[in-house]
């Protein structure tokens, strides 16, 4: 993932993470200034004849913002690292919400991007325990967004 693509992704997460106003503006500006470039999956839709000139533009822009975006990322991590939660099945440590509410005990409905377990659905609605899902996940029998 390139610097611009990462900045655009962070900008899309601004409503879900703690971010200083100046950082949000900076990321929004990056997204706005680069929305004409073939970034990420959009690159596949571009004709090969046009990519070299756009690649040069991407490289130049990324060089201009790389130091500033690193500083923003360090601050975002510092502001948000304690806010993530761990999946009790696969130990993935980037759940946005706790798997179950400490107050009501209800599942968060969040899907773990590593093991694919949906809290409050896989367990409550489908009756599958954490242990059962962990066994399936270890055997490669579950689907997920991210196998890292």
Q: What does the pLDDT look like over 47-84, one tens digit per residue?
A: 999 999 999 999 999 999 999 999 998 888 888 767 78
Identity of the highest mean pLDDT range in 77-86, 91-100, 137-146: 91-100
Phi/psi for 22 (5° steps) reads: -60, -35
Final residue in a domain of this structure, among 82, 106, 124:
82
pLDDT of 147 higher than 70: no
Count of structural domains, the chain: 2
Same domain, 94 and 125: yes
Residue in 92, 69, 52 with CA at minimum distance from that of residue 5? 69
Same domain, 7 and 68: yes
Same domain, 57 and 122: no
Same domain, 75 and 97: no
Could you give the CA distance from residue 49 to residue 53 in angstroms, rounded to a whole number? 9
Same domain, 100 and 114: yes
pLDDT for res 146: 47
Final residue in a domain of this structure, among 82, 106, 122:
82
Domain hosting residue 118, numbered range: 84-148
């Amino acid at each position: 993932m390139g610097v611009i693509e990462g900045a655009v992704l962070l900008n899309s997460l601004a409503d879900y993470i703690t971010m200083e106003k100046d950082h949000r503006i900076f990321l929004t500006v990056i997204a706005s200034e680069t929305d004409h470039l073939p970034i990420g999956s959009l690159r596949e839709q571009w004709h090969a004849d046009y990519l070299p000139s756009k690649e040069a533009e991407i490289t130049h822009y990324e060089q201009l913002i790389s130091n500033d975006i690193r500083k923003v990322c360090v601050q975002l991590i510092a502001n948000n690292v304690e806010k993530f939660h761990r999946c009790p099945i696969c130990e993935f440590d980037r759940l946005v919400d706790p798997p179950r509410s400490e107050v009501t005990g209800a599942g968060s409905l969040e899907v773990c991007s590593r093991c694919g377990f949906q809290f409050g659905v896989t367990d409550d609605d489908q009756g599958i325990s954490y242990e059962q899902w962990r066994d399936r996940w270890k055997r490669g029998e579950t689907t997920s967004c991210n196998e890292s």
